[in-house]
């Protein structure tokens, strides 16, 4: 293989070229640039001034940016996603794989919200939460619980806004995780289940000792997606509250966009971007490690 | 997909109907209703007048079908324009993603060279890189090149971010094509390009569908880049356009509902006909990753 003609190597290069140009130009080079910008003070017009780690120091100490609140919100979403959304998705997947009547219909309906634009979903939930005409308050009123609803609306009240904004996010992606897990469960060799059933295992035991260990790789992917997706979450928060009221629902991405495009702080915005990349990477590695360790036991 | 062979077989005798099983079924139905409700509500209020929406008939089917909401949504906003923009961006992105990823996959899996494995790993980095990573440099570079407010400002980044998934899916499909075909083509005098163009590419059609669907959904719904790189109304894609339109009609829900429906119905129609393929494209991406 060592005596390949030059033209052969050239061909390899030509086949890779379009992908390489896109990949390096849009992903790799910008990451490096983001890293550099995060070390500068820059308003986007003048030349960036190198200031070392000053942006990061300000980011983690500034009360007006308050990155800790945004991170806490994102972590709360990650926890809710991992410990409520995923178990529920797994439950749905397990039940659907037992072939209830209408299995395909359920599957398709549960997955549908994933395909709808987050802007549309956000606009619809804004209306569901509308204090005067929204369906949620209408439902509460008809149940005689109308006084539960906050006067400023679920998204307008500082106490409820965060939870109200998280509900649609969790709601939208239940079907996505359910689908992945369902596909995994369908891949469990039927012999395994049948053998366990013959040995007198109950459905719960089959789920616990056969199916769930078998689909561990998919659960790992789901947890990684849930956690990194929460850290990066932007679309629905942006449409529903844009970080308000009074920054109660701020997440790192909304902070980043506001610093960038409302206050022209490109250096600081880049620092948040870099922090997010590192956090996503660290969490992916951690989750992988956790799943590996448990397997070793 | 070898789904048929591996299907999990439930015991042939259905267990007796117990309270537990009924409860499970009730929850399944309830969640189906909760999943579908916002869309149902959107489609119905898009055809109602304010009196019905705001009190008389909030969740029923419309009594009077107000199609005028749709004409208003089409005329006041720039909906047809947004729609076309989304189509143009999506089609171009799909074509570029497909060409680049199938070519790269060919180089990585069929041509033999030392760096193939590491090159694959390099591309797979793209699966974990969030779009946040490149938003500032892309924005400033596009601004400098005077390319903000152009289709390219979206097509190029969307293609680049779809690439990793495109390659991942393509590698799975290309692995199913027997190597004997390459050899036969080579013996028949096809060069590298001939083999690729006449043998491999035509056999990659199933991958084309999967990658195409996945890429379509990614760029059809994308908000952060579209919102940042496009400010000119005539170039806005559906998500950004609909968001702007909703801001204009805060008290008139009918036309907003119509606009939201116009943005959603095409995806839903495709889903009705291709639900299996769409689901498979999401599974293919995640399971192999």
The per-residue pLDDT for A169 is 95
| Contact assignment for B268 to A194 by CB distance below 8 Å | no
Cβ of residue B273 closer than 8 Å to a chain A Cβ:
no
- Contact (Cβ atoms closer than 8 angstroms) between residue A115 and residue B272: no
Cα distance between residue A256 and residue A261, in whole Å: 9
Cα distance between residue B186 and residue B189, in whole Å: 5
DSSP string, B108-159: HHTS--TTHHHHHHHHHGGGT--THHHHHHHHHHHHHTT-SSSTHHHHHHHH
- Residue of B35, B42, B83, B174 for testing the chain A interface, max A β-carbons within 10 Å: B35
Cα distance between residue B49 and residue B14, in whole Å: 49
The per-residue pLDDT for B213 is 87
Cα distance between residue A276 and residue A220, in whole Å: 20
A49, β-bridge pairs: A41
- Contact (Cβ atoms closer than 8 angstroms) between residue B65 and residue B220: no
Cα distance between residue A277 and residue A231, in whole Å: 10
- Contact (Cβ atoms closer than 8 angstroms) between residue B230 and residue B154: yes
> Is it the case that residue A207 has pLDDT exceeding 50?
yes
Which residues lie below 8 Å from residue A174, measured CB to CB, with a gap of 6+?
A85, A88, A89, A92, A110, A113, B31, B35
Class level of CATH domain A68-296: mainly alpha
Question: Which tokens go with B137?
Answer: 């440099």
Domains of chain A: which residue ranges? 68-296
Cβ of residue A4 closer than 8 Å to a chain B Cβ:
yes
Of the two residues B77 and B132, the one the predictor is more confident about is: B132
Nearest chain A Cα distance for residue B143, angstroms: 10
Question: Which tokens go with B162?
Answer: 């779809």
Closest to B100 in 3D by CA, of A23, A27, A7: A23
Q: What average pLDDT does chain B have?
A: 86
| Contact assignment for B223 to A238 by CB distance below 8 Å | yes
Cα distance between residue A137 and residue A139, in whole Å: 5
Of the two residues B129 and A86, the one the predictor is more confident about is: A86
Mean pLDDT of A149-164: 90
Using one digit for the tens of pLDDT, what is the confidence trace for B88-109?
A: 999 999 999 999 999 999 999 9
Residues in A 50-89 with any Cβ partner in B closer than 8 A: none
Cβ contacts of A116 on chain B, cutoff 8 Å: 39, 221, 264, 267-268
The rounded percent of chain B whose pLDDT value lies above 70 is: 93
Cβ of residue A25 closer than 8 Å to a chain B Cβ:
yes
- Residue B205 neighbours by CB distance under 10 Å: 10
Q: How confident is the model at residue B12 (pLDDT cuts 50, 70, 90)?
A: low
Question: Which tokens go with B255?
Answer: 């036309």
Cα distance between residue B282 and residue A176, in whole Å: 8
| Contact assignment for A186 to B3 by CB distance below 8 Å | yes
Cβ of residue B103 closer than 8 Å to a chain A Cβ:
yes
Q: Which secondary-structure segment (H or E) carries A8?
A: helix A6-22
The per-residue pLDDT for A6 is 65
Using one digit for the tens of pLDDT, what is the confidence trace for B191-246?
A: 888 888 888 888 898 888 889 988 998 888 899 999 999 999 999 999 999 988 88
The rounded percent of chain A whose pLDDT value lies above 90 is: 63
Q: How confident is the model at residue B1 (pLDDT cuts 50, 70, 90)?
A: very low
The rounded percent of chain A whose pLDDT value lies above 70 is: 97
> Is it the case that residue A237 has pLDDT exceeding 90?
yes
Mean pLDDT of B31-58: 87
Q: ipTM score of the complex? A: 0.89
DSSP string, chain B: --HHHHPPPPPSSPPP--HHHHHHHHHHHHHHHHHHHHHHHHHHHTTS-HHIIIIISSSS--SS--THHHHHHHHHS-HHHHHHHHHHHHHHHHHHHHHHHHHHHHHHHTS--TTHHHHHHHHHGGGT--THHHHHHHHHHHHHTT-SSSTHHHHHHHHHHHHHHHHHHHHHHHHTS-HHHHHHHHHTT--HHHIIIIIIHHHTHHHHHHHHHHHHHHHHH--HHHHHH--SGGG--HHHHHHHHHHH-SS-HHHHHHHHHHHHHHHHHHHHHHHHHHHHHHHHHHHH-
Cβ contacts of B240 on chain A, cutoff 8 Å: 119
> Is it the case that residue A293 has pLDDT exceeding 90?
no
Closest to A93 in 3D by CA, of A217, A219, A189, A183: A183
Nearest chain B Cα distance for residue A57, angstroms: 20
A41, β-bridge pairs: A49
Cβ of residue A24 closer than 8 Å to a chain B Cβ:
no
Mean pLDDT of A66-91: 96
Q: What is the DSSP letter of A163?
A: H
Q: What average pLDDT does chain A have?
A: 90
B250, β-bridge pairs: none
Nearest to B133 among A8, A22, A30 (CB): A30
- Residue of A117, A219, A275 for testing the chain B interface, max B β-carbons within 10 Å: A117
| Strand, helix or coil for residue B52 | helix
Cβ of residue B9 closer than 8 Å to a chain A Cβ:
yes
Total residues belonging to chain A: 297
Mean pLDDT of B12-41: 87
Chain A's closest residue to B264, CA to CA, is A116
Of the two residues B207 and A226, the one the predictor is more confident about is: A226
Q: How confident is the model at residue B186 (pLDDT cuts 50, 70, 90)?
A: confident
The rounded percent of chain B whose pLDDT value lies above 90 is: 36
Residues in B 119-158 with any Cβ partner in A closer than 8 A: 119, 122-123, 125-126, 128-130, 132-141, 143, 156-157
> Is it the case that residue A1 has pLDDT exceeding 50?
no
Nearest to B11 among A197, A221, A253 (CB): A197
Identify the top-confidence range among A44-53, A176-185, B178-187: A176-185
Q: Cα-flanking dihedrals φ and ψ of residue B130, to 5°?
A: -75, 150
A147 burial level (CB within 10 Å; 0-12, 13-18, 19+)? exposed
B241, β-bridge pairs: none
DSSP string, A230-264: HHH--HHHHHHTTT-STTTT--HHHHHHHHHHTT-
Nearest chain A Cα distance for residue B246, angstroms: 8
Domains of chain B: which residue ranges? 14-71, 78-248
Q: How confident is the model at residue B2 (pLDDT cuts 50, 70, 90)?
A: very low
In this structure, CATH architecture of domain B78-248: Orthogonal Bundle (1.10)
Nearest to B160 among A11, A23, A107 (CB): A23
Of the two residues A140 and A2, the one the predictor is more confident about is: A140
- Contact (Cβ atoms closer than 8 angstroms) between residue A16 and residue B118: no
Using one digit for the tens of pLDDT, what is the confidence trace for A246-292?
A: 899 999 999 999 998 888 899 999 999 999 999 999 999 999 999 98
Alpha-carbon torsion, ordered A244, A79, A229, B211, to 10 deg: -140
Question: Which tokens go with A200?
Answer: 């007198």
The per-residue pLDDT for B184 is 86
Cα distance between residue A164 and residue A172, in whole Å: 13
Cβ contacts of B225 on chain A, cutoff 8 Å: none
> Is it the case that residue B3 has pLDDT exceeding 70?
no
> Is it the case that residue B66 has pLDDT exceeding 60?
yes
Of the two residues A146 and A182, the one the predictor is more confident about is: A182
Cβ of residue A167 closer than 8 Å to a chain B Cβ:
no
The per-residue pLDDT for B129 is 84
Cβ contacts of B124 on chain A, cutoff 8 Å: none
Chain B's closest residue to A131, CA to CA, is B54
Mean pLDDT of B137-165: 93
Nearest chain A Cα distance for residue B51, angstroms: 11
Nearest chain A Cα distance for residue B149, angstroms: 16
Q: Which secondary-structure segment (H or E) carries A40?
A: strand A40-41
> Is it the case that residue A151 has pLDDT exceeding 80?
yes
| Contact assignment for B260 to A124 by CB distance below 8 Å | yes
Cβ of residue A158 closer than 8 Å to a chain B Cβ:
no
The per-residue pLDDT for B75 is 84
């Amino acid at each position: 293989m060592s005596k390949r003609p030059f033209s052969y190597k050239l061909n390899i290069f030509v086949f890779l070229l379009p992908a390489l140009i896109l990949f390096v130009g849009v992903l790799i080079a910008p990451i490096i640039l983001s890293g550099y910008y995060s070390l500068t003070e820059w308003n986007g017009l003048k030349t960036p001034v190198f200031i070392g780690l000053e942006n990061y120091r300000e980011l983690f100490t500034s009360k007006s940016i308050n990155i800790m609140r945004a991170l806490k919100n994102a972590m709360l979403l990650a926890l809710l996603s991992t410990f409520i959304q995923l178990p529920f998705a797994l439950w749905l997947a397990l039940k659907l794989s037992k072939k209830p009547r209408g299995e395909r219909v359920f599957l398709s309906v549960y997955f549908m919200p994933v395909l709808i634009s987050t802007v549309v979903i956000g606009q619809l939930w804004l209306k569901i939460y509308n204090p005067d005409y929204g369906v949620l308050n209408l439902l509460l009123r008809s149940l005689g619980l109308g006084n539960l609803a906050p006067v400023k609306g679920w998204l307008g009240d500082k106490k409820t806004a965060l939870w109200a904004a998280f509900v649609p996010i969790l709601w939208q992606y239940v079907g996505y995780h359910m689908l992945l897990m369902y596909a995994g469960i369908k891949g469990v060799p039927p012999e395994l289940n049948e053998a366990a059933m013959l040995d007198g295992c109950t459905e719960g035991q089959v789920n616990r000792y056969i199916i769930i260990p078998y689909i561990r790789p998919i659960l790992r992917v789901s947890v990684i997606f849930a956690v990194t997706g929460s850290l990066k979450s932007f679309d629905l928060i942006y449409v529903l509250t844009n970080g308000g009221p009074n920054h109660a629902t701020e997440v790192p991405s909304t902070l980043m966009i506001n610093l960038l495009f409302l206050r022209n702080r490109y250096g600081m915005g880049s620092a948040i971007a870099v922090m997010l990349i590192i956090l996503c990477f660290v969490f992916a590695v951690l989750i992988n490690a956790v799943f590996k360790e448990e397997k070793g036991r | 997909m070898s789904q048929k062979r591996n299907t999990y077989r439930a015991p042939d005798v259905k267990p007796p109907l117990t309270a537990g099983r009924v409860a499970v079924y009730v929850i399944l139905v309830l969640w189906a209703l909760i999943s579908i409700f916002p869309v149902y509500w959107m489609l119905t209020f898009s055809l109602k007048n304010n009196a019905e929406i705001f009190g008389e008939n909030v969740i029923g089917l419309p009594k009077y079908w107000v199609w005028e909401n749709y004409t208003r949504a089409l005329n006041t906003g720039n909906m047809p324009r947004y729609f076309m923009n989304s189509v143009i961006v999506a089609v171009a992105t799909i074509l570029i993603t497909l060409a680049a990823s199938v070519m790269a996959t060919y180089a990585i899996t069929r041509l033999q060279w030392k760096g193939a494995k590491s090159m694959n790993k390099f591309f797979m980095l793209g699966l974990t890189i969030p779009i946040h990573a490149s938003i500032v440099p892309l924005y400033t570079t596009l601004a400098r090149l005077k390319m903000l407010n152009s289709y390219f400002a979206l097509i190029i980044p969307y293609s680049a971010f779809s690439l990793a998934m495109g390659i991942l899916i393509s590698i799975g499909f290309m692995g199913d094509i027997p190597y004997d075909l390459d050899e036969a083509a080579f013996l028949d005098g096809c060069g590298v390009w001939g083999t690729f163009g006449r043998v491999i590419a035509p056999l990659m059609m199933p991958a084309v569908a999967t990658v195409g669907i996945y890429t379509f959904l990614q760029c059809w719904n994308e908000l952060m880049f579209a919102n940042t790189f496009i400010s000119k109304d005539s170039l806005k894609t559906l998500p950004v356009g609909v968001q702007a339109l909703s801001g204009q009609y805060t008290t008139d829900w009918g036309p907003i509902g119509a606009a939201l429906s116009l943005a959603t119905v095409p995806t839903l129609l495709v889903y009705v006909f291709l639900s299996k393929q769409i689901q498979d494209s999401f599974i293919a991406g995640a399971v192999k990753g």
